[in-house]
Amino acid sequence: RKPLTTARMRKMKQDGVPITMVTAYDYPSARLSEEAGVDVILVGDSLGNVVLGYDSTLPVTLDDMVYHTRAAVRGASNTFIVADMPFFTYHGSLDTTLKGVARLMQEGGAKAVKLEGGAEIAATVKAITEAGVPVIGHLGLTPQSVHQLGGFRVQGRSSEQAEKLLSDAKAIEEAGAFAIVLELVTDELAEWITKQLSIPTIGIGSGVHCDGQVLVYHDLLQYGSDSAPRKFVKAYANIGETIREGIREYVKEVKERAFPTQENTFHMDNDVVQYLYG
C-alpha cells in the first residue's frame, strides 16, 4: 500500500473519513502499527515518558528523536511518519530550527514534523513549510509548556480561551500547516475549530468531532504502565500484563529446570560424547 499524502488527508476531511494516527517509537511498534492499518505514525516526544522513563517530554533531545524516528521508519516504510520537534529546538534562530528539521528528515527519514504552539510560532511554521517540509501544528494542552500551563488540564472551557485557540489554529493554518493536533480541548471547542479550518484536526482527549484521532501506543495497549487509563484514553489491549506473565513463567521454568527441554536442545554424536566422558 502507498503512504498517505497531505493532499489525501485534506480530502479525507472533506469526505468525512476519519484519519487514524498512533505514536510509535521503534521498529516493532511501527511495524505492528503499519500492519494494523494506521494512516499516520507519530514519533512523538512522548517517548520521553513512555520509552525513556522521564516524567515529562522536556528532557527529550533532537538526537533522541532522530534515533527513534529512524528505527520507526525501518519498521513502517509504507506509512506517513511524522516526527516531533522536541522542546526548545524551534525557538532559537531560524537557521538552528531548520537544521534540526533537516536532521529529522534526512537522518531520521520523517515525512513531516510537528511543532507545539500558536500564533507565536506561525512564522517558524511558515519558514519550515516554505523549505518544503510538511508541518503539523499542536494546540490545546501542549506538554512542552506544562510548567507555563500549570499542569495537565483541559483547555478551552471559557469563551476567551476558545477565541484564543481558534485564532491560534487559524494562524497555524495560514502559516501552511497541513493538520493540527488538538490535545485535551473541550468537545464543543474542538468541533467549532474543526468546522472553521480547511485542514484536518487530529484530536487526543478532544472529542469525536475532530477529523482524526491520535493515541499514545503505550496508553492504548497498556504497555509498561500500571496506572489506570486516563479518561480520554481507551485501553484496547493489556500487553503489559501479557509481557509480565510471559516473563514470570520463563523465570519460574528456569528455576525449576523445566526450560529448556529436549525440544530446545542440541546434541553431539555419541562417539564424541564417549570421548569426553571416557
CA separation for the pair 230, 233 (Å, rounded) = 5
Rounded to 5°, angle at Cα 144 from 140 and 148: 75
Q: Which of 34, 173, 183, 191 is catalytic?
A: 183
- The least distance separating Na ion from the CB of residue 169, rounded to whole angstroms, comes to 17
Q: Which of 19, 44, 64, 101 binds ligand KIV (CB under 6 A)?
A: 44
Q: Which of 181, 184, 185, 199 binds ligand KIV (CB under 6 A)?
A: 181
51-90: string of b/e by CB count within 10 Å (b at 16+)? beeeeebbebebebbbbbbbbbbebbeebbbbbbbbbebb
CA separation for the pair 232, 211 (Å, rounded) = 16
Considering the complex, state which of residue 23 and residue 89 has its C-beta at the smaller distance from ligand KIV: 23
CA separation for the pair 46, 165 (Å, rounded) = 22
104 binds ligand KIV (CB under 6 A): no
Q: Is 126 helix (H, G, I), strand (E, B) or coil?
A: helix
Residues in the site for Na ion, rule: CB under 5 A?
A: 44-45, 84
Q: Which set of grid coordinates corresponds to residue 221?
A: 495497549
211 binds ligand KIV (CB under 6 A): no
Considering the complex, state which of residue 162 and residue 210 has its C-beta at the smaller distance from ligand KIV: 210
Q: Which parts of 257-276 interact with ligand KIV (CB under 6 A)?
A: none
Q: Which set of grid coordinates corresponds to residue 49?
A: 515518558
Q: Which of 45, 215, 73, 226 is nearest to 146 (CA)?
A: 45
Considering the complex, state which of residue 26 and residue 45 has its C-beta at the smaller distance from Na ion: 45
Catalytic-residue membership of 35 = no
End-to-end distance of the chain based on CA atoms, in angstroms? 62
Strand boundaries in the chain, DSSP class E: 19-23, 40-43, 80-84, 112-116, 135-140, 179-183, 201-204, 212-215
Fill in the DSSP letter of residue 2. Answer: P
Among Na ion, ligand KIV, none, the one that 181 touches (CB under a kind-dependent 5 to 8 A) is ligand KIV
Residue reference for cell 522536556: 58
Contacting range for ligand KIV; rule: CB under 6 A; set: 25-33, 42-50, 75-83, 85-93:
42-50
CB 13 within 8 A of CB 199: yes
Among Na ion, ligand KIV, none, the one that 214 touches (CB under a kind-dependent 5 to 8 A) is ligand KIV
- The least distance separating ligand KIV from the CB of residue 123, rounded to whole angstroms, comes to 21
219 binds ligand KIV (CB under 6 A): no
Question: Cβ-closest residue to Na ion?
Answer: 44
CA distances from 192 to 17, 91, 197 (A): 18, 29, 9
Binding flags for ligand KIV, 74-103, as an x/- string (CB under 6 A): ----------x-------------------
- The least distance separating Na ion from the CB of residue 57, rounded to whole angstroms, comes to 6
Contacting range for ligand KIV; rule: CB under 6 A; set: 37-45, 75-83, 171-179, 231-239:
37-45
Q: Which of 40, 162, 179, 35 is nearest to 111 (CA)?
A: 40
Q: Which of 216, 218, 221, 222 binds ligand KIV (CB under 6 A)?
A: 216
The residues annotated with a catalytic role in the active site are: 183
Interacting residues with ligand KIV (CB under 6 A): 23, 42, 44-46, 84, 138, 181, 183, 204, 214, 216
